[in-house]
C-alpha cells in the first residue's frame, strides 16, 4: 500500500472555474499536493488513459469530453490516499454521490463528473507516471 493517489479536475470543472474551490477542499481534507499542472490531453492520450473502457458504449463520448479543454492533473499524498480520496469525491454518478462530496457539489452528470480518482494503488502509480515526469513529483 502506498500513500499516494492521482486525480484530474476534468474539463467541465476547469470550464466552470472550480479549480480553486476543488483544490481547497482537497487540501482541507488532509491531502498534500505533491505534483500539479494544467494540461490538455490529446485524443491519443485520452484513448490510452481510458483504454480499460474501450469496449464500453460511452468510450467515444468519454474521449471527446476529456479532450475538449484543459484539465488539472495532480498527485496527492495522505494515509490511505486512494480509498479516502474516492470517499471525498463521491459516487461516479453525482445523483448517487453523498452530500458534501466533490461530485455532489460540482458534477453535472455521470459522464461529466468533474473529477477523477484512481481506483487502486497500482493504477495511481500508472496514472501518475502517465502525466508526470519523476522530476515533477515531490
Binding residues (CB under 6 A) for ligand CMP: these are 53, 58, 61-62, 92, 110-111, 113, 116
Q: Is 3 annotated as a binding residue?
A: no
Tell me the backbone φ, ψ of residue 8, rounded to 5 degrees.
Answer: -130, 135
Q: Is 7 annotated as a binding residue?
A: no
As annotated, the active-site residues are 116
Least separation, in Å, of the C-beta of 54 and ligand CMP? 12
Alpha carbons 104 and 114: distance in angstroms, whole number: 10
Alpha carbons 81 and 53: distance in angstroms, whole number: 23
Cβ proximity to ligand CMP: between 44 and 138 the closer is 44
Q: Is 86 annotated as a binding residue?
A: yes
Least separation, in Å, of the C-beta of 4 and ligand CMP? 17
Cβ proximity to ligand CMP: between 29 and 92 the closer is 92
First to last CA, the chain: 18
Joined grid coordinates for residue 58: 460511452
Strand locations in the chain, DSSP E?
4-9, 32-39, 71-77, 115-117
Q: Is 4 annotated as a binding residue?
A: no
Least separation, in Å, of the C-beta of 130 and ligand CMP? 14
**Of 62, 68, 74, nearest in space to 118 by CA:** 74
Report the binding-site residues. Answer: 10, 58, 86, 92, 103, 113
Report the binding-site residues for ATP. Answer: 10, 58, 86, 92, 103, 113
Amino acid at each position: 500500500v502506498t500513500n499516494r493517489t492521482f486525480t484530474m479536475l476534468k474539463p467541465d470543472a476547469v470550464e466552470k472555474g472550480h479549480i480553486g474551490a476543488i483544490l481547497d477542499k482537497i487540501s482541507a481534507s488532509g491531502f498534500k499536493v505533491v505534483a500539479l499542472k494544467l494540461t490538455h490531453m490529446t485524443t491519443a492520450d485520452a484513448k490510452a488513459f481510458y483504454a480499460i473502457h474501450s469496449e464500453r458504449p460511452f468510450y467515444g463520448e468519454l474521449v471527446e469530453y476529456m479532450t475538449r479543454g484543459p484539465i488539472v492533473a495532480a498527485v496527492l499524498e495522505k494515509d490511505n490516499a486512494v480509498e479516502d480520496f474516492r470517499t471525498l469525491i463521491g459516487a461516479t454518478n453525482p445523483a448517487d454521490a453523498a452530500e458534501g462530496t466533490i461530485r455532489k457539489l460540482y458534477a453535472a452528470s455521470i459522464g461529466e463528473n468533474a473529477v477523477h480518482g484512481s481506483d487502486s494503488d497500482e493504477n495511481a502509480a500508472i496514472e501518475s507516471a502517465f502525466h508526470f515526469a519523476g522530476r515533477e513529483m515531490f
